[in-house]
Structure 1
């Protein structure tokens, strides 16, 4: 059977963009997690995004399920075996200093701007339209297809855990539209590591920096007692370093803020860590405290864990990375959140033990707040070969090979699946950064690839 999948996608271009616009215009950042909040455990914005996707699915005649706001699915067919896809509707915080409204879904020069356009509302809509096209063409399929909708991928994965506890069946094959083309067959292990201790320097009133550990922090701020002329010192520091920032007097104290550049926590080398910049000021101006010493000796300007003594490189999967993502204080206590990602060959428990030993002289404690083991699929499997062939057909990139990444996708949650697009490696990406966008032509191409890939897996 010969089907022009490109033609079918382009017929629906305006409708696809309209649905994505509505979805992007919903602020679906996590507010708080409250399992007692009926149908909205992750907040009203995430609930609204899930409701909208399921409403679109119902309108198009699909079977849908809303699992108490934790997750949902859109399903086609009633065969026993199924092909699965998982997208997510939550987003990381928008952050600061966008050129366009992060929830405006504005289109400029062929690009739609907004938080979630590439991670992961745009790809989820692309996957949905792939499913919709197969249904509308009434193609004969031997397997049903299910698009699962996650709701807290950027935080704790509580939604998919609840979902698979109720619907534990595994697909025969599937893909996750939340990463890179051509295809990802392995993902690093991911952990959130907390370091806690006490502040002893009385000049430090408070410190705050970063939104999430899986984002390079684009701001860091502190409030200092006026025991020195910190206002002048900080202004001189900003000028000397060429950093953006501000200083003000607040309730008799000096309030300072420095700006960095955000990036995804899996690639901290592409960001400018604002917490590092703040501690540069502390170190240069001899604000002596065990926290400042700890950061200076073990963390500052080190994205590979060399100062912590946990550096590692694997030829296939690359370097261990460490993102110093969040700092906060509460009176005389501090908490640091590290996002540490590791390749094949690393024994995670040994890494944690090494970090504990390194921070002990600074009277700090270490705990693991979350850990996802690394994922590895056979790059020569039938699933990988099928998806790669579709990718090559529509991109004419005959030399393409599957890759590994430091990011984490729902491929860890869905057995027999791999991460597959939507980002093309030769294009810029701004996920987890200000001015996130998706190129409309790239979105349509991804939809074409997804449609034929889904057909090949389910026919």
Structure 2
């Protein structure tokens, strides 16, 4: 069968943009998790996004399942063996100071702007259209193809865990459209770690910063007792360091806020950490409290964990990284949220013990809230080579596959790897303000995904 995947994608451009626009306009940030909230355990926005995709699938004649708002799938074919892929419909918080509306799906200079355009609603629509094209062409396949719809990838993966508890079948092969081209064959281990202690006994009343541990925080704030002229001191600090921030009197306290620049938690070097900046100030004005000493001596301005004694670099997968992504005050106790990512050669249990030893002197404790082991697939495997062949055909790019610090649902779907949609030479704004997807690149990704699914399932 002579298939022109490029032509098939381009003839559907208007429909693709229309369906992508509808999905991006849904604010699918997770609100709260409530298993008793029937049909919407992760909040109304995620429910709406899942419902949107299921309705698309039903309209186009696919077999569709919605598992009470936890997850779903869109399936083509009835063969026992299947090719699997997972997209996710939840997004990280939009954050602040977007040029265009975060959920406006506006197109400027051939780019669609909006939270989720690249991570991961856009790629999910891309795979959906790849599946739709194969169905509409009535291509003869030997395997079923299933697009699984995830719902809380950015938090705790409860949706896919529930899904696989009810659909435990394993695909013969597959890919996850939530990373980079040419292909990701290894992903670092990832953990969310809390460092906690008491905040009583100092001029600090409360501290807060960041939205999620897997984002570099773009703001951090504190309320201080007015025992010093903190407002004046903070303004001098901002000016001396050329930082942006505000200081004002509020309810007989001094309120200070400093801004940074967000970035993905797997690449903290590309952000400007506002929590680091806040504790620079608290240290500069000599506030005497273990939280300040701990931050200065063990946490801030150290994305590789040297101060905590856990630094490590693997030649293939790179450095261990730590993103100080969020902090909060809860019942007069502070909590730092660390996003730790580690390569081959690291024993996670030993890292945790080292962290505990390093914070003990500050009266702090360490808790592992979440841990995902690293993923490694042989780059010479048949799956990797088959997907690379398709990618190279459509791009003429002969680059080798890579490793990343990010984490994808490839860890949840056996026999799969992460595959696009981002092209490495292009800028990316995932987990940052002004996230966008270049529409030419988007259509190219759909071409690649359509032929990739065909090659895996034919």
TM category, shorter:
over 0.9
Q: Secondary structure at the match of 2:104?
A: coil
Kindly indicate whether the alpha-carbon contact (under 8 Å) linking 1:200 and 1:290 is maintained by their aligned counterparts in 2.
no
Residues 309-458 of structure 1: pairs in structure 2 closer than 5 A: 309-397=309-397, 399-458=398-457
1:101 Cα deviation after fit: 0.5
1: distance between equivalents of 2:223 and 2:229?
Answer: 13
1:56 aligned partner: 56
1:332 Cα deviation after fit: 2.4
Kindly indicate whether the alpha-carbon contact (under 8 Å) linking 1:201 and 1:287 is maintained by their aligned counterparts in 2.
no
Q: Secondary structure at the match of 2:116?
A: coil
Kindly indicate whether the alpha-carbon contact (under 8 Å) linking 1:302 and 1:322 is maintained by their aligned counterparts in 2.
yes
| Cα deviation digits, residues 94-150 of structure 1 (max 9, x gap) | 001111100000000010000000000000000000000000000000001000000
1:189 Cα deviation after fit: 0.2
1:202 Cα deviation after fit: 2.9
Kindly indicate whether the alpha-carbon contact (under 8 Å) linking 1:83 and 1:174 is maintained by their aligned counterparts in 2.
yes
What's the TM-score once normalised by structure 1's chain length? 0.99
2:113 aligned partner: 113
1:349 Cα deviation after fit: 0.3
Kindly indicate whether the alpha-carbon contact (under 8 Å) linking 2:217 and 2:262 is maintained by their aligned counterparts in 1.
yes
2: distance between equivalents of 1:419 and 1:108?
Answer: 28
2:209 aligned partner: 209
Kindly indicate whether the alpha-carbon contact (under 8 Å) linking 1:178 and 1:421 is maintained by their aligned counterparts in 2.
yes
1:295 aligned partner: 295
Q: Secondary structure at the match of 1:68?
A: coil
Gapped runs of 5+ residues in structure 2? none
Kindly indicate whether the alpha-carbon contact (under 8 Å) linking 1:206 and 1:331 is maintained by their aligned counterparts in 2.
no
Residues 218-237 of structure 1: pairs in structure 2 closer than 5 A: 218-237=218-237
2: distance between equivalents of 1:274 and 1:43?
Answer: 28
2:251 aligned partner: 251
1: distance between equivalents of 2:191 and 2:392?
Answer: 34
Kindly indicate whether the alpha-carbon contact (under 8 Å) linking 2:202 and 2:289 is maintained by their aligned counterparts in 1.
no
2: distance between equivalents of 1:349 and 1:265?
Answer: 21
2: distance between equivalents of 1:393 and 1:87?
Answer: 24
Q: Secondary structure at the match of 1:52?
A: helix
Q: Secondary structure at the match of 1:353?
A: helix
2:166 aligned partner: 166
2: distance between equivalents of 1:288 and 1:217?
Answer: 24
1: distance between equivalents of 2:222 and 2:155?
Answer: 26
Residue 331 to residue 78, structure 1, CA distance change in 2 (3 Å): closer
2: distance between equivalents of 1:331 and 1:254?
Answer: 20
Kindly indicate whether the alpha-carbon contact (under 8 Å) linking 1:216 and 1:272 is maintained by their aligned counterparts in 2.
yes
2:157 aligned partner: 157
2:241 aligned partner: 241
2: distance between equivalents of 1:345 and 1:408?
Answer: 18
What's the TM-score once normalised by structure 2's chain length? 0.99
2:145 aligned partner: 145
1:330 Cα deviation after fit: 2.5
1: distance between equivalents of 2:258 and 2:18?
Answer: 38
After TM superposition, the runs of 4+ consecutive aligned structure 1 residues lying more than 3 A away are none
2: distance between equivalents of 1:201 and 1:275?
Answer: 21
Kindly indicate whether the alpha-carbon contact (under 8 Å) linking 1:205 and 1:331 is maintained by their aligned counterparts in 2.
no
1:331 Cα deviation after fit: 4.2
Gapped runs of 5+ residues in structure 1? none
1:252 Cα deviation after fit: 1.3
Alignment of 1:22 onto 2:28: no
Kindly indicate whether the alpha-carbon contact (under 8 Å) linking 2:268 and 2:303 is maintained by their aligned counterparts in 1.
yes
> RMSD of aligned C-alpha atoms?
0.6
Q: Secondary structure at the match of 1:129?
A: helix
Kindly indicate whether the alpha-carbon contact (under 8 Å) linking 2:144 and 2:457 is maintained by their aligned counterparts in 1.
yes
Q: Secondary structure at the match of 1:64?
A: strand
